[in-house]
Structure 1
Amino acid sequence: MTDDITQRLSACYTGVIHDVMRAMGLKDFTLPPELRPNFPERTLAGPAFTIDGRVDPNADPHETLLAWTGLLSKAKPGHIWVSQPNDRVVAHMGELSAETLKNKGVLGCIADGYVRDTNFLLAMEFQTWSRGHTPRDIVGYWLPRAFEVDIRIGDVVIAPGDYMIGDRDGLIRVPQARVEEIIGAAETAIATENKVRTAILAGVDPQEAYIRYGKF
Protein backbone atom coordinates (compact mmCIF):
# COMPACT_ATOMS: atom_id res chain seq x y z
CA MET A 1 0.00 0.00 0.00
CA THR A 2 1.79 3.13 -1.21
CA ASP A 3 0.54 6.61 -2.01
CA ASP A 4 1.44 8.70 -5.04
CA ILE A 5 3.95 10.77 -3.10
CA THR A 6 5.74 7.63 -1.91
CA GLN A 7 5.92 6.29 -5.45
CA ARG A 8 7.30 9.56 -6.82
CA LEU A 9 9.81 9.87 -4.00
CA SER A 10 10.92 6.26 -4.56
CA ALA A 11 11.81 7.17 -8.15
CA CYS A 12 14.22 9.84 -6.91
CA TYR A 13 17.57 9.33 -5.19
CA THR A 14 19.07 10.84 -2.07
CA GLY A 15 21.76 12.86 -3.87
CA VAL A 16 19.24 14.89 -5.86
CA ILE A 17 16.86 15.24 -2.90
CA HIS A 18 19.77 16.49 -0.80
CA ASP A 19 20.81 19.04 -3.42
CA VAL A 20 17.26 20.33 -3.84
CA MET A 21 16.76 20.74 -0.09
CA ARG A 22 20.16 22.40 0.33
CA ALA A 23 19.28 24.87 -2.44
CA MET A 24 16.02 25.64 -0.60
CA GLY A 25 18.03 26.60 2.49
CA LEU A 26 16.91 23.63 4.56
CA LYS A 27 19.29 22.20 7.14
CA ASP A 28 19.71 19.12 9.35
CA PHE A 29 17.93 16.60 7.15
CA THR A 30 20.65 13.97 6.52
CA LEU A 31 20.69 11.09 8.99
CA PRO A 32 23.97 9.71 10.42
CA PRO A 33 25.96 7.71 7.84
CA GLU A 34 26.45 4.92 10.40
CA LEU A 35 22.87 3.84 9.67
CA ARG A 36 23.07 1.22 6.91
CA PRO A 37 20.48 -0.91 5.06
CA ASN A 38 20.33 -4.66 4.69
CA PHE A 39 19.42 -4.15 1.00
CA PRO A 40 21.67 -1.27 -0.15
CA GLU A 41 20.58 -1.70 -3.75
CA ARG A 42 16.96 -0.84 -2.88
CA THR A 43 15.40 2.56 -2.28
CA LEU A 44 13.16 2.87 0.76
CA ALA A 45 10.72 5.78 0.75
CA GLY A 46 7.53 6.66 2.59
CA PRO A 47 6.02 8.51 5.54
CA ALA A 48 7.37 7.91 9.04
CA PHE A 49 5.61 6.10 11.86
CA THR A 50 7.79 7.29 14.74
CA ILE A 51 8.72 5.48 17.97
CA ASP A 52 10.49 6.78 21.07
CA GLY A 53 11.82 4.34 23.67
CA ARG A 54 13.63 4.08 26.97
CA VAL A 55 15.88 1.63 28.80
CA ASP A 56 14.61 0.11 32.03
CA PRO A 57 16.89 -2.73 33.21
CA ASN A 58 14.36 -3.52 35.95
CA ALA A 59 11.39 -3.86 33.62
CA ASP A 60 9.24 -6.93 34.02
CA PRO A 61 9.87 -9.31 31.06
CA HIS A 62 6.14 -9.83 30.53
CA GLU A 63 5.57 -6.06 30.59
CA THR A 64 8.20 -5.45 27.92
CA LEU A 65 6.68 -8.00 25.56
CA LEU A 66 3.14 -6.72 26.14
CA ALA A 67 4.29 -3.18 25.41
CA TRP A 68 6.24 -4.25 22.32
CA THR A 69 3.45 -6.31 20.79
CA GLY A 70 1.00 -3.52 21.55
CA LEU A 71 3.27 -1.10 19.72
CA LEU A 72 3.45 -3.38 16.69
CA SER A 73 -0.33 -3.36 16.51
CA LYS A 74 -0.31 0.45 16.18
CA ALA A 75 1.97 0.53 13.12
CA LYS A 76 0.44 2.10 10.01
CA PRO A 77 0.29 0.46 6.57
CA GLY A 78 2.17 2.33 3.89
CA HIS A 79 4.53 3.85 6.47
CA ILE A 80 8.11 3.27 7.56
CA TRP A 81 8.79 2.21 11.17
CA VAL A 82 11.26 4.88 12.40
CA SER A 83 12.59 4.22 15.90
CA GLN A 84 14.72 6.19 18.33
CA PRO A 85 15.18 3.56 21.04
CA ASN A 86 17.76 5.62 22.95
CA ASP A 87 19.74 2.41 23.33
CA ARG A 88 22.79 0.82 21.78
CA VAL A 89 22.70 -2.52 23.60
CA VAL A 90 19.76 -4.67 22.45
CA ALA A 91 18.03 -5.33 19.14
CA HIS A 92 15.02 -3.23 18.16
CA MET A 93 13.76 -5.30 15.27
CA GLY A 94 13.68 -9.03 14.65
CA GLU A 95 12.04 -11.78 12.66
CA LEU A 96 8.57 -12.05 14.18
CA SER A 97 8.23 -8.29 14.52
CA ALA A 98 9.28 -7.75 10.91
CA GLU A 99 6.87 -10.46 9.74
CA THR A 100 4.09 -8.68 11.63
CA LEU A 101 4.94 -5.29 10.17
CA LYS A 102 5.35 -6.58 6.63
CA ASN A 103 2.01 -8.38 6.86
CA LYS A 104 0.42 -5.08 7.97
CA GLY A 105 1.81 -3.31 4.91
CA VAL A 106 4.65 -1.45 6.64
CA LEU A 107 7.28 -0.57 4.03
CA GLY A 108 10.42 -1.06 6.12
CA CYS A 109 12.25 -0.16 9.32
CA ILE A 110 14.76 2.49 10.38
CA ALA A 111 16.15 1.86 13.87
CA ASP A 112 18.77 4.13 15.43
CA GLY A 113 20.22 1.10 17.17
CA TYR A 114 20.70 -2.61 16.57
CA VAL A 115 18.56 -5.35 15.02
CA ARG A 116 18.70 -9.14 14.99
CA ASP A 117 17.51 -12.24 13.08
CA THR A 118 19.27 -10.72 10.10
CA ASN A 119 19.16 -13.83 7.93
CA PHE A 120 15.40 -13.97 8.41
CA LEU A 121 15.04 -10.26 7.58
CA LEU A 122 17.00 -10.87 4.39
CA ALA A 123 14.95 -13.95 3.49
CA MET A 124 11.66 -12.08 3.91
CA GLU A 125 13.10 -9.07 2.05
CA PHE A 126 12.12 -6.59 4.76
CA GLN A 127 14.20 -3.47 4.22
CA THR A 128 15.82 -2.63 7.56
CA TRP A 129 18.19 0.22 8.37
CA SER A 130 20.22 0.01 11.57
CA ARG A 131 23.58 0.68 13.20
CA GLY A 132 24.44 -3.00 13.43
CA HIS A 133 23.38 -6.35 14.82
CA THR A 134 23.18 -8.18 18.13
CA PRO A 135 21.33 -11.30 19.30
CA ARG A 136 20.22 -9.56 22.53
CA ASP A 137 16.51 -8.75 22.73
CA ILE A 138 14.46 -6.16 24.62
CA VAL A 139 12.99 -8.57 27.19
CA GLY A 140 13.30 -7.19 30.73
CA TYR A 141 15.36 -4.26 29.49
CA TRP A 142 13.56 -1.83 27.15
CA LEU A 143 10.13 -0.23 26.79
CA PRO A 144 8.48 1.99 24.21
CA ARG A 145 7.80 5.43 25.67
CA ALA A 146 5.62 6.94 22.93
CA PHE A 147 4.71 6.63 19.29
CA GLU A 148 3.69 9.19 16.67
CA VAL A 149 5.81 11.85 18.40
CA ASP A 150 8.78 13.91 17.22
CA ILE A 151 12.05 12.00 17.54
CA ARG A 152 15.67 12.95 16.89
CA ILE A 153 18.19 10.80 15.06
CA GLY A 154 21.57 12.49 14.96
CA ASP A 155 20.87 16.13 14.09
CA VAL A 156 17.59 15.31 12.37
CA VAL A 157 14.19 15.84 14.00
CA ILE A 158 11.58 13.56 12.43
CA ALA A 159 7.90 14.31 12.96
CA PRO A 160 5.15 11.75 12.41
CA GLY A 161 4.24 11.75 8.72
CA ASP A 162 7.50 13.28 7.55
CA TYR A 163 8.79 11.40 4.53
CA MET A 164 11.97 9.36 4.54
CA ILE A 165 14.09 8.32 1.58
CA GLY A 166 17.07 5.99 1.80
CA ASP A 167 19.34 4.40 -0.77
CA ARG A 168 22.92 3.19 -0.96
CA ASP A 169 24.18 6.71 -0.15
CA GLY A 170 22.20 7.18 3.07
CA LEU A 171 18.96 8.46 4.57
CA ILE A 172 17.18 11.81 4.32
CA ARG A 173 14.13 13.22 6.10
CA VAL A 174 11.79 15.22 3.87
CA PRO A 175 9.38 17.53 5.78
CA GLN A 176 5.78 16.57 5.15
CA ALA A 177 4.72 20.19 4.62
CA ARG A 178 7.11 20.60 1.65
CA VAL A 179 7.36 17.08 0.26
CA GLU A 180 5.46 17.75 -2.98
CA GLU A 181 7.49 20.91 -3.66
CA ILE A 182 10.73 19.03 -3.01
CA ILE A 183 9.77 16.05 -5.18
CA GLY A 184 8.72 18.35 -8.02
CA ALA A 185 12.05 20.18 -7.88
CA ALA A 186 13.91 16.86 -7.72
CA GLU A 187 12.09 15.52 -10.78
CA THR A 188 13.05 18.69 -12.68
CA ALA A 189 16.66 18.35 -11.52
CA ILE A 190 16.79 14.71 -12.64
CA ALA A 191 15.55 15.70 -16.11
CA THR A 192 18.27 18.37 -16.30
CA GLU A 193 20.92 15.92 -15.11
CA ASN A 194 19.89 13.60 -17.93
CA LYS A 195 20.59 16.41 -20.41
CA VAL A 196 24.00 17.05 -18.81
CA ARG A 197 24.80 13.33 -18.94
CA THR A 198 23.86 13.17 -22.62
CA ALA A 199 26.04 16.19 -23.36
CA ILE A 200 29.03 14.75 -21.46
CA LEU A 201 28.72 11.44 -23.29
CA ALA A 202 28.63 13.35 -26.56
CA GLY A 203 31.96 14.93 -25.69
CA VAL A 204 30.83 18.35 -24.46
CA ASP A 205 33.32 19.98 -22.07
CA PRO A 206 32.04 19.55 -18.48
CA GLN A 207 32.27 23.26 -17.70
CA GLU A 208 30.41 24.10 -20.90
CA ALA A 209 27.75 21.56 -19.97
CA TYR A 210 27.42 23.11 -16.52
CA ILE A 211 27.11 26.63 -17.95
CA ARG A 212 24.60 25.44 -20.53
CA TYR A 213 22.30 23.62 -18.10
CA GLY A 214 23.18 25.13 -14.70
CA LYS A 215 23.61 21.70 -13.19
CA PHE A 216 26.45 19.29 -12.57
Structure 2
Amino acid sequence: MKDQELFDNMCEKLYSAVISDTLDQLGYRNQVMRENINPIDPAWIVAGRAKTILSVDIHHLPEDPYTKEIEAVDSVKPGEIVIGCTNESRQNGLWGELLSTASKMRGGRGAIVDGLIRDTAKILELGFPVFATGTKPVDSQGRGIVIDYDIPVLCGGVMVHPGDVIFGDRDGIVVIPGAIIDEVFQLAMDKVTRENHTRDELLEGYTLRQVYDKYGVL
Protein backbone atom coordinates (compact mmCIF):
# COMPACT_ATOMS: atom_id res chain seq x y z
CA MET A 1 0.00 0.00 0.00
CA LYS A 2 1.38 3.40 -0.96
CA ASP A 3 1.86 6.00 1.74
CA GLN A 4 -0.98 8.31 0.72
CA GLU A 5 -3.48 5.45 0.67
CA LEU A 6 -2.13 4.13 3.96
CA PHE A 7 -2.37 7.50 5.70
CA ASP A 8 -5.85 8.18 4.36
CA ASN A 9 -6.99 4.74 5.57
CA MET A 10 -5.46 5.34 8.98
CA CYS A 11 -7.24 8.68 9.36
CA GLU A 12 -10.55 7.19 8.26
CA LYS A 13 -10.50 3.87 10.12
CA LEU A 14 -8.08 4.03 13.07
CA TYR A 15 -7.65 6.05 16.25
CA SER A 16 -4.78 6.67 18.62
CA ALA A 17 -5.94 4.27 21.34
CA VAL A 18 -6.11 1.23 19.07
CA ILE A 19 -2.70 2.04 17.57
CA SER A 20 -1.20 2.44 21.05
CA ASP A 21 -2.71 -0.90 22.12
CA THR A 22 -1.26 -2.55 19.03
CA LEU A 23 2.21 -1.19 19.75
CA ASP A 24 1.89 -2.43 23.34
CA GLN A 25 1.08 -5.88 21.96
CA LEU A 26 4.28 -5.79 19.90
CA GLY A 27 6.40 -4.69 22.86
CA TYR A 28 6.66 -0.97 22.01
CA ARG A 29 5.32 0.57 25.21
CA ASN A 30 6.65 4.14 25.09
CA GLN A 31 5.32 5.43 21.79
CA VAL A 32 2.72 7.99 22.90
CA MET A 33 3.73 11.63 23.28
CA ARG A 34 2.93 13.57 26.41
CA GLU A 35 -0.70 14.47 26.92
CA ASN A 36 -0.12 18.23 26.80
CA ILE A 37 0.39 18.25 23.01
CA ASN A 38 -3.05 18.73 21.48
CA PRO A 39 -4.64 19.73 18.15
CA ILE A 40 -5.84 23.31 17.98
CA ASP A 41 -8.98 21.88 16.37
CA PRO A 42 -10.06 18.77 18.31
CA ALA A 43 -11.65 17.32 15.16
CA TRP A 44 -8.32 17.08 13.35
CA ILE A 45 -6.85 13.64 12.66
CA VAL A 46 -3.45 13.33 11.03
CA ALA A 47 -1.16 10.56 9.78
CA GLY A 48 2.12 10.82 7.91
CA ARG A 49 5.89 10.33 7.90
CA ALA A 50 7.96 12.25 10.43
CA LYS A 51 9.91 15.27 9.19
CA THR A 52 11.95 16.25 12.24
CA ILE A 53 13.11 19.76 13.10
CA LEU A 54 15.21 20.66 16.15
CA SER A 55 15.01 24.15 17.69
CA VAL A 56 16.80 25.48 20.77
CA ASP A 57 16.31 28.57 22.91
CA ILE A 58 18.67 31.50 22.39
CA HIS A 59 19.10 34.88 24.07
CA HIS A 60 20.61 37.00 21.32
CA LEU A 61 19.77 38.21 17.80
CA PRO A 62 21.73 36.09 15.29
CA GLU A 63 22.63 37.43 11.86
CA ASP A 64 20.68 34.71 10.03
CA PRO A 65 17.87 33.64 12.37
CA TYR A 66 15.81 31.69 9.84
CA THR A 67 18.33 29.92 7.56
CA LYS A 68 17.89 26.36 8.85
CA GLU A 69 14.18 26.89 9.48
CA ILE A 70 13.61 27.89 5.86
CA GLU A 71 15.73 24.98 4.59
CA ALA A 72 13.76 22.54 6.73
CA VAL A 73 10.32 23.73 5.67
CA ASP A 74 11.26 24.02 2.00
CA SER A 75 12.44 20.39 2.09
CA VAL A 76 9.11 19.01 3.34
CA LYS A 77 7.96 16.17 1.08
CA PRO A 78 4.42 15.00 0.29
CA GLY A 79 3.03 12.84 3.07
CA GLU A 80 5.27 14.24 5.81
CA ILE A 81 4.31 15.67 9.19
CA VAL A 82 6.66 18.23 10.66
CA ILE A 83 7.82 17.23 14.14
CA GLY A 84 9.00 20.45 15.78
CA CYS A 85 11.18 19.64 18.77
CA THR A 86 11.78 22.67 21.03
CA ASN A 87 12.55 20.72 24.22
CA GLU A 88 9.21 22.05 25.47
CA SER A 89 10.30 25.68 25.21
CA ARG A 90 8.03 28.35 26.67
CA GLN A 91 10.13 31.14 25.19
CA ASN A 92 8.85 31.45 21.63
CA GLY A 93 6.23 30.42 19.11
CA LEU A 94 8.17 28.14 16.76
CA TRP A 95 5.31 27.51 14.34
CA GLY A 96 2.75 29.77 12.70
CA GLU A 97 0.61 30.51 9.67
CA LEU A 98 3.33 31.03 7.08
CA LEU A 99 5.23 27.86 7.94
CA SER A 100 1.92 25.99 7.86
CA THR A 101 1.10 27.43 4.45
CA ALA A 102 4.54 26.59 3.05
CA SER A 103 4.36 23.04 4.43
CA LYS A 104 0.87 22.45 3.09
CA MET A 105 1.88 23.62 -0.38
CA ARG A 106 4.81 21.17 -0.31
CA GLY A 107 2.39 18.31 0.40
CA GLY A 108 2.84 18.21 4.17
CA ARG A 109 0.03 16.65 6.18
CA GLY A 110 0.45 18.57 9.44
CA ALA A 111 2.79 19.73 12.19
CA ILE A 112 3.33 18.59 15.76
CA VAL A 113 5.26 20.90 18.09
CA ASP A 114 6.28 20.08 21.66
CA GLY A 115 6.10 23.80 22.43
CA LEU A 116 4.17 26.91 21.52
CA ILE A 117 2.68 28.16 18.26
CA ARG A 118 1.00 31.34 17.02
CA ASP A 119 -1.40 32.53 14.29
CA THR A 120 -3.96 29.91 15.29
CA ALA A 121 -6.92 31.68 13.66
CA LYS A 122 -5.14 31.68 10.30
CA ILE A 123 -4.01 28.06 10.73
CA LEU A 124 -7.60 27.03 11.44
CA GLU A 125 -8.72 28.92 8.34
CA LEU A 126 -6.02 27.16 6.32
CA GLY A 127 -7.18 23.76 7.59
CA PHE A 128 -3.63 22.51 8.19
CA PRO A 129 -3.59 20.20 11.24
CA VAL A 130 -1.26 21.55 13.93
CA PHE A 131 -0.74 20.12 17.42
CA ALA A 132 1.05 22.04 20.18
CA THR A 133 1.27 22.58 23.93
CA GLY A 134 -0.14 26.11 23.75
CA THR A 135 0.05 29.49 22.07
CA LYS A 136 2.21 32.59 22.38
CA PRO A 137 2.23 35.43 19.83
CA VAL A 138 5.96 36.22 19.92
CA ASP A 139 8.35 35.64 17.02
CA SER A 140 11.12 33.07 17.33
CA GLN A 141 13.76 35.62 16.25
CA GLY A 142 16.18 36.14 19.14
CA ARG A 143 14.30 33.60 21.26
CA GLY A 144 14.78 30.31 19.44
CA ILE A 145 16.60 28.97 16.39
CA VAL A 146 16.39 25.83 14.28
CA ILE A 147 19.79 24.14 14.42
CA ASP A 148 19.14 20.92 12.47
CA TYR A 149 16.52 18.79 10.76
CA ASP A 150 16.01 15.22 9.48
CA ILE A 151 17.66 13.85 12.62
CA PRO A 152 16.35 11.77 15.55
CA VAL A 153 14.65 14.01 18.13
CA LEU A 154 13.00 13.47 21.50
CA CYS A 155 9.55 14.99 21.12
CA GLY A 156 6.90 14.76 23.80
CA GLY A 157 8.96 12.15 25.60
CA VAL A 158 9.21 9.82 22.58
CA MET A 159 12.21 9.32 20.31
CA VAL A 160 11.18 10.13 16.75
CA HIS A 161 13.28 9.16 13.74
CA PRO A 162 12.82 10.66 10.27
CA GLY A 163 10.43 8.41 8.37
CA ASP A 164 8.61 7.07 11.42
CA VAL A 165 4.85 7.13 10.99
CA ILE A 166 2.97 9.61 13.16
CA PHE A 167 -0.71 9.37 14.03
CA GLY A 168 -2.50 12.07 15.98
CA ASP A 169 -6.06 12.75 17.06
CA ARG A 170 -7.82 14.44 19.98
CA ASP A 171 -6.72 11.65 22.36
CA GLY A 172 -3.01 11.87 21.62
CA ILE A 173 -0.07 11.35 19.29
CA VAL A 174 1.44 7.93 18.58
CA VAL A 175 4.85 7.30 17.02
CA ILE A 176 5.08 4.11 14.94
CA PRO A 177 8.58 2.92 13.99
CA GLY A 178 8.75 3.01 10.21
CA ALA A 179 9.97 -0.58 9.90
CA ILE A 180 6.80 -2.05 11.44
CA ILE A 181 4.06 0.16 10.01
CA ASP A 182 2.53 -2.57 7.80
CA GLU A 183 2.26 -5.00 10.71
CA VAL A 184 0.86 -2.33 13.01
CA PHE A 185 -1.75 -1.29 10.47
CA GLN A 186 -3.00 -4.85 9.92
CA LEU A 187 -3.12 -5.69 13.63
CA ALA A 188 -4.84 -2.39 14.45
CA MET A 189 -7.47 -2.99 11.78
CA ASP A 190 -8.13 -6.45 13.23
CA LYS A 191 -8.55 -4.94 16.70
CA VAL A 192 -10.97 -2.32 15.36
CA THR A 193 -13.09 -5.12 13.88
CA ARG A 194 -13.16 -6.97 17.21
CA GLU A 195 -13.97 -3.76 19.09
CA ASN A 196 -16.86 -3.08 16.71
CA HIS A 197 -18.29 -6.56 17.31
CA THR A 198 -17.83 -6.06 21.06
CA ARG A 199 -19.69 -2.75 21.00
CA ASP A 200 -22.55 -4.16 18.93
CA GLU A 201 -23.06 -7.10 21.26
CA LEU A 202 -22.87 -4.93 24.38
CA LEU A 203 -25.67 -2.82 22.86
CA GLU A 204 -27.64 -6.03 22.35
CA GLY A 205 -27.42 -6.72 26.08
CA TYR A 206 -24.54 -9.18 26.36
CA THR A 207 -22.36 -8.82 29.45
CA LEU A 208 -18.86 -7.43 29.35
CA ARG A 209 -17.51 -10.82 30.46
CA GLN A 210 -19.31 -12.57 27.61
CA VAL A 211 -17.99 -10.30 24.90
CA TYR A 212 -14.50 -10.10 26.38
CA ASP A 213 -14.24 -13.88 26.46
CA LYS A 214 -15.37 -13.95 22.84
CA TYR A 215 -13.31 -11.10 21.33
CA GLY A 216 -10.56 -10.40 23.88
CA VAL A 217 -10.68 -6.61 23.75
CA LEU A 218 -11.61 -3.83 26.16
Q: Same fold (TM over 0.5)?
A: yes
Equivalence for 2:177: 175
Q: How far apart, in 2, do the equivalents of 1:74 and 1:63 lie?
A: 18
Q: How far apart, in 2, do the equivalents of 1:8 and 1:182 lie?
A: 13
Q: How far apart, in 2, do the equivalents of 1:186 and 1:67 lie?
A: 37
Partner AA of 1:7 in structure 2: D
TM-superposition CA deviations, 1:172-207 (whole Å, max 9, x none): 101101111011000001111111111111111111
Equivalence for 1:106: 108
Counterparts of residues 1-216 of structure 1 (less than 5 Å): 3-10=4-11, 11-60=13-62, 62-86=63-87, 87-216=89-218
Q: How far apart, in 1, do the equivalents of 2:131 and 2:73 lie?
A: 17
Gaps of at least 5 residues in structure 2 are: none
1:41 is paired with a residue whose SS is coil
Q: How far apart, in 2, do the equivalents of 1:123 and 1:79 lie?
A: 20
Task: Report how far residue 146 of structure 1 moved.
Answer: 1.1
TM-score (norm 2): 0.93
Count, aligned residues: 215
Partner AA of 1:38 in structure 2: I
Contact 1:5 1:180 in 2 (8 A): no
Q: How far apart, in 2, do the equivalents of 1:198 and 1:137 lie?
A: 50
TM-superposition CA deviations, 1:57-79 (whole Å, max 9, x none): 2232x501333223221222210
TM-superposition CA deviations, 1:43-94 (whole Å, max 9, x none): 111110001122222232x501333223221222210000102322100111
The runs of 4+ residues in structure 1 deviating greater than 4 Å are none
Q: How far apart, in 1, do the equivalents of 2:140 and 2:215 lie?
A: 53
Contact 2:111 2:129 in 1 (8 A): yes
1:179 is paired with a residue whose SS is helix
Partner AA of 1:4 in structure 2: E
TM-superposition CA deviations, 1:97-146 (whole Å, max 9, x none): 11111111111110111000111011111111001000111112322111
Contact 2:68 2:148 in 1 (8 A): no
Task: Report how far residue 2 of structure 1 moved.
Answer: 5.3
TM-superposition CA deviations, 1:2-25 (whole Å, max 9, x none): 523212322210111111111222
Q: How far apart, in 2, do the equivalents of 1:147 and 1:32 lie?
A: 21
Partner AA of 1:33 in structure 2: E
TM-score (norm 1): 0.94
